[in-house]
């Protein structure tokens, strides 16, 4: 009686991150026409993730009070709460000079703790800045220079790995895809909550993020859970001040959209702190609040962040509160890389010798000011993805130097808003700062801290674009001119950013027009070209997308990213041979995009080259063993060959790599139903939770359960089938299932 109409489809791998615990999830929507996702189809039946959360309790550990506050090891055994607020300008806090009262809760924390008045980020982008915070290394040493391109290597210790070794339980709660586990910051965390939802489609730019309450609620539950014999370290990341700005209405009145988001974030943190205090959870806790970077908001012509490195995006708030700490303001120059060694020093954990940062405990104790090391900074995303001039620089002694084809020099003490470039009038100071930057950058990067290139799937690329970030091939050059200086390209940058925002809000025509205008001015702007192609594909205009991609100038035309997009467009247009050629060229050009390998394997199988398809998926698994799409496709091949044992093994690998992969759970159930009905039921229950409207799946699960020793378990699935299945394709099945329901109910009454 089992239905054979339900079809399970293979998809490209989700990530190269290690398998993570199963979690509650909403079902991912089917990819639309024009999507670059490749699927194989077979006639098998198909998933879900359910997490049971028990009651929790919490108790504090005894605080060791044998040393004065802020002495080395004085907070030994205390908990650590690190809160990073994405895109928070330092000057939006009252304690840093804002007159609008946006942040009463953060101001209270600062007024009763330690406030650092001259704290700087090392890079104005989310992933590299957080990597610096958690590793105590500059981007030169941890190797992550922008969002999405890199993954933290295995060499560097992190705050989580070091505190875990010291006996802490560790939990992270992040609110944006930019910090997905696939990028490596999950290492050392017992629990890494990056469950921000599903992408609408690879061709869309729909934002993937969570609001503050959606992050703070699970963080609070985790902190207060049972088992507090160990101290805990919790990292909470809030994304609300990041564009697009969309605070609740009650916070928007009288505020700019950005300021409303800041006020909303502060209010939610206030409730979070109140809950923690009511449970005594802050009595023995070091609390650190900072930002990864700020937001330009039109300063120097930039609307958001990432292109420049002026104080509007580089200056960050830094506040520390701990048991017994007296209020103090630290005026010295500090950086985000100093946070890790400070935490280790206070908790008595050994500080690794090779960190770039240093402990701020002496400064917090008010010891005599000393010469502080300079702060290196960089903003390399435009260089890495577009071939624009690289931006690096240094802050030291009240001065700031920005190294570009048109150099910039600012006396921050007199000119904190960086309005007066002194590079052409103070040659001696310019040469001093240039020499200082050369001294910093001439040191070789630490080999054990080199980052890995992240696997950039089409899905990941779309998610990043939804948040205003782009991926692209490396177009760095040997020499740069004034024409490559970001200052001369800022209008183009903002037009591109606006186009992404327009696309995410349904204004596809305007977005496409803006992207074409960008390309007219700068034909080598690869992310603008691939973004425009995404929009055309989402509108089922594959031929136009192909033409646009083929018009790319030399250099860009042979980039792996563009060739991968061309292959997806050719496949959407129905030309498998052309798609295969483009994918093969992308791989030959160095692509590590799992989608390219997976999609090429699918095309091989569709064209009858089954062995080639299998070989392609095995090649993908050689460098990305957690490619759920590859495992799923191998499972489908095994099912088509009637090898249920091999199929089940492949599907198990798929759901271990991606517990939200509905079709793989569906396939696993189909592979097990003949030999292990209980295992099949479990797999299909996972599938139903993720695909509640798959009527073939409801039918099959209901039928199998109706024949089990507990047939009453079939009732909710069969009832849902008869209540909601469309009559036309299920005209004969609905009355039959009504009869089965009646039989089960009659047995129950007996």
**Does 389-443 carry CATH code 3.30.1120.10?**
yes
Q: Is 684 exposed, middle or buried (0-12, 13-18, 19+ CB in 10 A)?
A: buried
State residue 81's pLDDT score: 98
> What's the pLDDT score for residue 106?
98
pLDDT at 7: 26
Q: Are 639 and 671 in contact (CB under 8 A)?
A: yes
N-to-C CA span, the chain: 26
Question: What is the model's pLDDT at position 681?
Answer: 96
SS3 193: strand
Q: Which CATH class is domain 79-387?
A: alpha beta
Long-range contacts (CB closer than 8 Å, 24 or more residues apart) made by 277-280 = 279/58, 279/224, 280/60
Domain extents in the chain: 79-387, 389-443
CB 152 within 8 A of CB 183: yes
Q: Are 430 and 420 in contact (CB under 8 A)?
A: no
Distance of CA 195 to the CA centre of its chain: 10
Name residues of the chain where pLDDT drops below 50. Answer: 1-67, 198-207, 447-448, 455-457, 460-470, 473
Number of CB atoms found within 10 A of residue 734's CB: 16
Q: What is the pLDDT of residue 259?
A: 98
E strand or H helix at 234: strand 232-238
Q: Is 318 helix (H, G, I), strand (E, B) or coil?
A: strand
Residue 237 CB burial class (10 angstroms; 0-12, 13-18, ≥19): buried
**Taking CA 732 as the corner, what is the angle to CA 729 and CA 738, rounded to the nearest 5 degrees?**
115
Report the 10 Å Cβ neighbour count for 198: 16
Which residues have C-beta within 8 Å of that of residue 506, sequence separation ≥ 6?
A: none
Q: What is the DSSP string of 406-429?
A: S-EEEETTT-TT-----TTT-HHH
Q: What is the structure's pLDDT at 20?
A: 28
Kindly give the interhelix angle for 610-623 and 628-640, rounded to the nearest 10 degrees. Answer: 150
Residue 314 has, within 13 A of its CA and on its CB side, a CA count of 29
- Report pLDDT for 453: 55
- pLDDT tens digits, 251-274: 999 999 999 999 999 999 999 999
Model pLDDT, residue 196: 64
């Amino acid at each position: 009686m089992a239905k054979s109409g339900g079809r399970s489809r293979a998809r490209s791998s989700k990530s190269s991150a290690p398998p993570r615990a199963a979690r509650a999830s909403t079902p991912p929507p089917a990819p639309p026409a024009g999507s670059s996702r490749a699927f194989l189809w077979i006639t098998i039946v198909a998933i879900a993730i359910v997490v049971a959360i028990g009651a929790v309790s919490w108790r504090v550990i005894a605080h060791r009070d044998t040393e004065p506050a802020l002495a080395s090891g004085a907070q030994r055994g205390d908990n650590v709460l690190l809160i990073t607020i994405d895109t928070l300008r330092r000057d939006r806090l009252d304690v840093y000079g804002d007159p609008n009262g946006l942040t009463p809760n953060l101001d209270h924390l600062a007024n009763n703790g330690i406030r650092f008045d001259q704290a700087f980020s090392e890079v104005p982008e989310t992933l590299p800045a957080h990597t610096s915070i958690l590793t105590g290394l500059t981007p030169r040493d941890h190797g992550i220079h922008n969002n999405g391109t890199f993954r933290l290597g295995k060499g560097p210790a992190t705050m989580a790995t070091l505190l875990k070794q010291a006996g802490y339980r560790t939990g992270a709660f992040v609110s944006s895809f930019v910090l997905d586990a696939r990028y490596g910051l999950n290492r050392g965390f017992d629990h890494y909550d990056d469950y921000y939802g599903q992408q609408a489609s690879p061709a869309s730019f729909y934002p993937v993020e969570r609001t503050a309450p959606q992050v703070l609620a699970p963080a609070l539950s985790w902190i207060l859970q049972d088992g507090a014999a160990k101290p805990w370290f919790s990292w909470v990341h809030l994304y609300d001040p990041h564009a697009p700005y969309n605070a609740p209405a009650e916070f928007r009145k009288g505020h700019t959209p950005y300021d409303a988001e800041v006020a909303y974030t502060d209010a939610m943190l206030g409730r979070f702190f109140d809950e923690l205090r009511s449970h005594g959870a802050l009595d023995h806790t070091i609390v650190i609040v900072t930002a990864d970077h700020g937001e330009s908001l039109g300063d120097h012509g930039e609307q958001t962040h990432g292109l420049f490195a002026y104080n509007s995006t580089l200056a960050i708030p830094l506040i520390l509160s701990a048991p017994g700490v007296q209020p103090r303001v630290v005026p010295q120059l500090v950086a985000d890389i100093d946070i890790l060694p400070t935490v280790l020093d206070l908790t008595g954990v050994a500080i690794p010798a090779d960190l770039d940062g240093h402990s701020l405990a002496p400064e917090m104790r008010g010891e005599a000011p000393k010469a502080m090391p300079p702060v290196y900074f960089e903003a390399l995303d435009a260089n890495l993805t577009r071939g624009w001039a690289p931006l690096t620089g240094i802050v030291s002694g009240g001065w700031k130097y920005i190294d570009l084809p048109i150099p910039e020099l600012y006396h921050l003490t007199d000119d904190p808003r960086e309005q007066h470039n002194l590079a052409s009038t103070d040659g001696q100071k310019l040469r001093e700062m240039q020499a200082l930057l050369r001294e910093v950058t001439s040191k070789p990067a630490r080999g054990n801290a080199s980052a890995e290139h992240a696997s950039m799937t089409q899905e990941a690329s779309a998610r990043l674009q939804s948040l205003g970030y782009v991926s692209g091939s490396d177009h760095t050059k040997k020499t740069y001119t004034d024409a490559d200086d970001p200052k001369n390209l800022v209008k183009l940058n903002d037009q591109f950013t606006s186009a992404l925002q327009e696309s995410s809000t349904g204004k596809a025509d305007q977005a496409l027009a803006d992207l074409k205008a960008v390309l007219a001015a700068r034909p080598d702007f690869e992310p603008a070209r691939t973004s425009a192609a995404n929009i055309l594909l989402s509108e089922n205009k594959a031929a136009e997308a192909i033409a646009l991609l083929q018009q790319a100038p030399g250099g860009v035309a042979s980039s792996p990213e563009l060739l991968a997009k061309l292959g997806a467009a050719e496949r959407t247009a129905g030309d498998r041979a052309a798609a295969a050629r483009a994918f093969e060229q992308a791989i030959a050009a160095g692509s590590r995009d799992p989608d390219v390998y997976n999609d090429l394997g699918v095309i091989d199988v569709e064209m009858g080259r089954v062995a080639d398809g299998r070989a392609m998926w095995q090649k993908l698994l050689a460098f990305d063993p957690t490619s759920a799409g590859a495992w799923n496709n191998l499972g489908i091949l095994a099912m088509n060959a009637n090898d249920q044992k091999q199929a089940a093994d492949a599907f198990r690998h798929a759901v271990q790599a991606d517990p939200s992969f509905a079709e793989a759970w569906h396939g696993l159930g189909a592979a097990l139903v003949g030999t292990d009905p209980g295992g099949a039921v479990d797999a299909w229950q996972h599938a139903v939770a993720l695909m509640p409207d798959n009527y073939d799946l409801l039918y099959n699960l209901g039928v199998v359960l109706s024949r089990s020793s507990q047939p009453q378990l079939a009732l909710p699935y069969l009832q849902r089938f008869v209540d909601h299945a469309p009559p036309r394709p299920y005209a004969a099945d609905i009355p039959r299932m009504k009869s089965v329901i009646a039989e089960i109910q009659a047995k129950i009454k007996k």
